[in-house]
A and B are shown apart, each in its own frame.
Chain A
Amino acid sequence: MARAIIDPITRIEGHLRLECEVENGKVVDAWVSGQLYRGMETVLLDRSPEDAFYISQRICGVCPISHSHASAQATENALGITIPEGGRLVRNLLEAAQFLHSHILWFYHLTALDYVSPVNALSANIADTYSLAQAAGTRPADFGAVATRLKAFVDNGQLSIFSNHYWDHPGYVLPPELDLIATAHYLEALEVQAVANEIVAIIAGKFSHPMTSVPGGTAFVPTVEKIDDILYRFIRVKEFVDTALIPDTLAIAPFIIDTAGYGGGVGNFVSWGVFEKSGLVPEERYLPRGFAKGLSVEDVSPDDVTEYVEHSWYSSKSGLNPKDGETKVKFTGYDENAQYSYGKAVRCKELSTESGPLARMVVAYLREKGGMDVAGGAEGVRTPAALIDSTLEALGVAGKPEILVSLLGRVAARNLEAAYIADLALVWVNELVAALKGGDAKFWEGSSKKDGKGVGAWEAPRGSVAHWEGISGGKIDHYQVVAPTTWNIAPRDAGGVRGPMEESLVGSPCVDVEKPLEQLRIAHSFDP
């Protein structure tokens, strides 16, 4: 028996510790610990609802748009506001830009270095690299220049952000040519994610921390010129998704096909749904609301959420729905047999439940197979089921969607979701143009109500986000957030049941407890 510990987990947003019990090269138990408490819900009390829109998004600098949309929806729900059609489309575009930014950044800059070795790329044959890129159908680059640049960097002896990683771990199995392709795309992706965020800046002033999706709709009024600026950027990002992100995923997958055999975890999935259609019905969103247990799907509501704190550093009452929830911090020291995390154990329908792209794509896939027109008949859009089925076929496992519930499946689901969203964004731009041409586009709706209770349940790139809000006399008297990663990094609940990331670690191979690469990969697959 040995312990594999990664503290801190890097290449994530936030502070996370991971501890695994390893026996005979396999993880037999795991504990995941959130290491930071900031107190957002308490800071929001007694402020105005629109202040919560601006402040609560600061929970996460990588997915602030999703938080701001959940907060705005909580207020709209509480005060009986229906956002106008123009507001719906602008919010969809803003959210799409953030998702594309986030998914591209995650794959190339946060998790790729668990599979790709830029050092190994130095021994690539440049001609072979071009042949491989062509065979894989992935984007060519000036591979020779990238190799020269890498060599100069390595020769200088200062590896900067690449220093002191597990580079000699046997898990780095890609051929050097593929390492070089991925490294070239790592550099190009830095540019593309910034282009995606320029869309955010046009609509919402800046990224991180957007300004315009205020309760009631949006403060952004598009002009023809601004729509033009948005459209060409979406086209550019979509091109990168189609010519790099997707083919790179498919090119790397055969080398790491063992990751389809572990890392699946609890197999319960929640999605609050994201990207509104006209009518604003959560169950009919482009990525619909739903709860999946294995491969069967059912309805779900924010009322199905319960939070437990038996193993968390809080003295609040355990077992509450967030509409009655409380957050009273009380640090008692790290002890995996008692309290060990600032994360609460959030449960859906009393089950340990995963959220994120895999959850959304599984719910959408099952809804689509059940007859729902998930993409709303939009032309030229590759739907979730079409994307998943074609990927399974490409990997030689056609008709076996259950294989998605694995480490590899979680990686692939995120990138396939990016392809779906990139397609949809172009549809929404056209809808916005049509609305402007019609001359009746409205973007914001006010309300004179000062009291109410509401919940905004939405999706961020990395998971399900919901804000519960109570407003009394125009001031916030209750605010609780279940953040996206709270679902996945949850500690054990009152019954001792592990959280989703913990469960996905159990059974995974651990070749070297000093360098637990497989466990780092699993942690990163949740994009925590």
Chain B
Amino acid sequence: MAQEAHGAIYDLLAVRGVSRRDFLKYCSFVAAMLGLSEAAAPAIAAAVEKGSKLKPALWLNGGSCSGCTESMAQVDSPDVATIVLEILSLNYFETIMAAAGEYAEQNIADTIAAGGYLLIYEGAVMTGEDGNTLLVAGKKGIDVLQEAAEGADAILAIGACAVDGGWLYGYPNPAGATGVQAYLDKVKVKTPVVNLPCCPTSPEWVVAMVVQWLLVADDDPATFLAKTALRQRTYTDRYTGQNVTLNYPEYVVGSTIHDNCPRRGHFENGDFVTEFGSEEEAKGYCLYKMGCKGPQTFTQCPITRWNRSVSWCVASGAPCIGCGGLNWVDNGTPFFKRLSSMETGDTLGYVQPGSVGAVVGGVAAAALIAHGLGTKAAGRMGDGPPVEEMKVYDRKHGAKKGGDK
């Protein structure tokens, strides 16, 4: 069979009618997601094709709403069937797997025993009531996480809840929620974790990271982090009391929503929406005065957009509520009030680790994505935004001190 020559993934893509051309086109898309140049596409294609087996993965739900699973079902390219059937062998995926009960649990045990798998974790880590706020098959959720994390090659903590506890972490955090990295630091599990922000997270970001992992994991799982262009943020977790350093992909958090917002021109011109459902909204004016957290929120939402790039929050008429930030509920509420911090284009707490600019599969990184595709580069209009006037407006409307820190 051709399997020896090309590998299972290539064969399966061929079976479902994905042409070589379409496949390379998709690899170019992934290259762009990863912040690489078009030249990286053949390297990605080669890496995907050489795999003779599907990559085993466990998808665990902690204190979740299944919104990130739902988000995955809205993935654009490849479609979700491709992910499920042709790239990963999702041996455990609570929301969509066929098996139930102890048969399902057996899949976790078998996968851990075999090793060499990717762990995808959705939802908060539940420590409240001595770890009993989440029970799965008679075990504490935190114990299931620890066991699966210890044996994994790498972990993707997807969505705000997995990153730092999300809304559950909001004061007074009655269920004792925390994030994956914070909890693994506490129990001294060293498996590398990459965080993907937002509530829910973007399926396109997950796909890009899965491909990234496919590219490097076969060679040396330990270098997964070193070979990925990352930014780091450090915060003090209220549950562990420890400083926690989170790794994010550069391509997701490299610039603010405000920097890339299609309504940025209206901000510069001082054209604002001041009431929901108004004529100004029909014209697509800036939502800054409605409390938009775009200037403080570092995600790629305006570029990736949502639901197969159909729309995103601001395009539908709603201000960004900053769900891509840390402790987003406490920091962002009241959502319709502005934060007084007006910094734009700064990195607000993000630092680039030493390894940044390192390369994927030996291909030179060309960090084109964030600024190159943004409206920021398209030039400013008029004399710039009426900053002083807006500061007066903010003070009058009870803006909250501080920013997304």
Q: What residues make up the interface of A, taking CB atoms closer than 8 Å to B?
A: 5-15, 17, 35-40, 42-43, 47-48, 50-51, 54-55, 58-62, 64, 84, 86-87, 105, 109-110, 113, 145, 148-149, 152-153, 156, 158-166, 187, 190-191, 193-194, 197-198, 200-209, 211-212, 214, 216-221, 223, 229, 313, 329-331, 334, 442-444, 446, 515-516, 520
Contacts and interface: CB of A to CB of B under 8 A. Distances in A.
A38 B133 contact: yes
Contacts of B311: 201-202, 205-206
Given A37-B175, A54-B321, A152-B12, A163 B99 contact: yes
Nearest to A200: B307
Interface string B75-99: 0000111001100111101111111
B55 to A, nearest CB: 9
B310 A43 contact: no
Contacts of A217: 276-277
Nearest to A220: B317
19 contacts: A10-B100, A15-B136, A35-B136, A37-B175, A38-B124, A43-B171, A48-B334, A62-B66, A149-B85, A156-B12, A165-B99, A193-B73, A194-B79, A194-B80, A201-B310, A204-B318, A205-B312, A211-B318, A221-B278
A62 B70 contact: yes
A186 B122 CA distance: 24
Contact of A59 (B65, B102, B138): B65
Contacts of B175: 37-39, 329
B74 A165 contact: no
Given A38-B168, A197-B307, A204-B316, A86 B277 contact: yes
Contact of A214 (B71, B128, B318, B334): B318
B315 interface: yes
B226 to A, nearest CB: 29
Contacts of B90: 160-161
Interface string B9-27: 0011001110000000000
Contact of A61 (B65, B89, B333): B65
A109 B69 CA distance: 13
Contacts of B168: 38-39, 43
Contacts of A191: 79
A444 B172 contact: no
Contacts of B316: 201-205, 211-212, 219-220
A5 B277 CA distance: 51
A160 B318 contact: no
Contact of A160 (B88, B126, B312): B88
Interface in B100-146: 100-107, 124, 126, 128-130, 132-138, 141
Given A55-B167, A214-B318, A8 B104 contact: yes
B67 interface: yes
A50 B106 CA distance: 44
B305 to A, nearest CB: 8
3 smallest A-B Cβ distances: which pairs? A61-B67, A443-B277, A444-B277
A17 B102 CA distance: 11
A360 B311 CA distance: 32
B268 to A, nearest CB: 22
B144 to A, nearest CB: 10
B199 interface: yes
A229 to B, nearest CB: 8
Contacts of B89: 158-160
B171 A51 contact: no
B397 interface: no
A114 to B, nearest CB: 9
B335 interface: yes
B63 interface: yes
Most A C-beta atoms less than 10 A away, residue of B17, B91, B310, B334: B310
A12 B95 contact: yes
B97 A214 contact: no
B264 to A, nearest CB: 17
Contacts of A229: 310
Contacts of A37: 126, 128-129, 133-134, 175
B97 A10 contact: yes
Contacts of B277: 84, 86-87, 217-221, 442-444
Contacts of B85: 149, 153, 160
A158 B307 contact: no
A161 B67 contact: no
A162 B85 CA distance: 10
A223 B106 CA distance: 52
A17 to B, nearest CB: 7
